[in-house]
């Protein structure tokens, strides 16, 4: 297993030899770092399906990186989609 850490306390744990993601700590839209509930297989080179628990709901979405080249930072972020896509705007 390989743990990759990024800025703002985010990380992803992958299993070798294929690099399948097992779990991740991601920055949510409300600015809180949360543990993923489950991860799917990547559907593109830029994102990975995921789900987190928030306020008693399972929120589906995807993981992606947010890079700030000026500050030299890289953060693993969660973007909500589907039924609860607006749950963080409360």
Angle at 4 between CA 1 and CA 82, to 5 degrees: 100
Distances (CA, A) of 42 to 6, 63, 80: 19, 9, 16
Q: What is the pLDDT of residue 78?
A: 92
Provide, for the chain, the percentages of residues in helix, strand and coil under a 3-state DSSP scheme, each rounded to the nearest 5: 10, 55, 35
Write down the domain spans for the chain.
2-82
Q: Is the confidence at residue 45, as pLDDT, over 80?
A: no
pLDDT, tens only, 5-35 = 999 999 999 888 777 888 999 999 999 999 9
């Amino acid at each position: 297993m390989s743990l990759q850490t990024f800025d703002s306390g985010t990380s992803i744990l992958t299993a070798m030899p294929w690099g399948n993601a097992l779990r991740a700590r991601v920055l949510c839209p409300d600015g809180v770092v949360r543990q993923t509930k489950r991860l799917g297989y990547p559907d593109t080179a830029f994102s990975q399906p995921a789900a987190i628990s928030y306020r008693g709901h399972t929120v589906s979405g995807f993981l992606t990186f947010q890079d700030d080249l000026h500050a030299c930072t890289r953060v693993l972020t969660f973007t909500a989609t589907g039924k609860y896509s607006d749950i963080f705007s409360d």
